[in-house]
Amino acid sequence: MLGTFTTATPSKAAVLKISDFNFNDVDGNSLASVTITTLPTTGTLTFDGSAVKLAGVTYSAADIAAGKLVFTAGATAGAYTFGYTVSDGALSSLPSTATIYITSGTSTGAK
């Protein structure tokens, strides 16, 4: 499982998309859910407007597609990370690390 590379602007929210989680199922199944395994040490993950405070919580692919999972960094540029696994509803992946690069630019999206 590869890490995620998203570019965002300091202090602005980056809405996470299904494609940010690098899901690839050998059986052709769709992504069913994402479980946050480690929280970011800097920055904030929110789900539907509330801070994600516990690791181990699972979010459905439908909720992620609806834009409910969001990362917001502080005012400092740099690399921010959190851990996750993905599932097709039957099996889960090995843990992976999402890396969100905060730049001084204005673009937001997966790289």
pLDDT in tens, 72-110: 887 788 888 899 999 999 999 999 998 888 776 543 443
Place of tokens 């851990």: 83
**Residue 62, helix vs strand vs coil:** helix
Can you give the pTM of this predicted structure? 0.83
Centre a 10 Å sphere on the Cβ of residue 15 and count the other Cβ atoms it contains. 16
Contact 37, 57 (CB under 8 A): no
% of residues, the chain, pLDDT over 90: 50
Which amino acid, one-letter code, is at 79? A
- Tokens found for residue 21: 């989680």
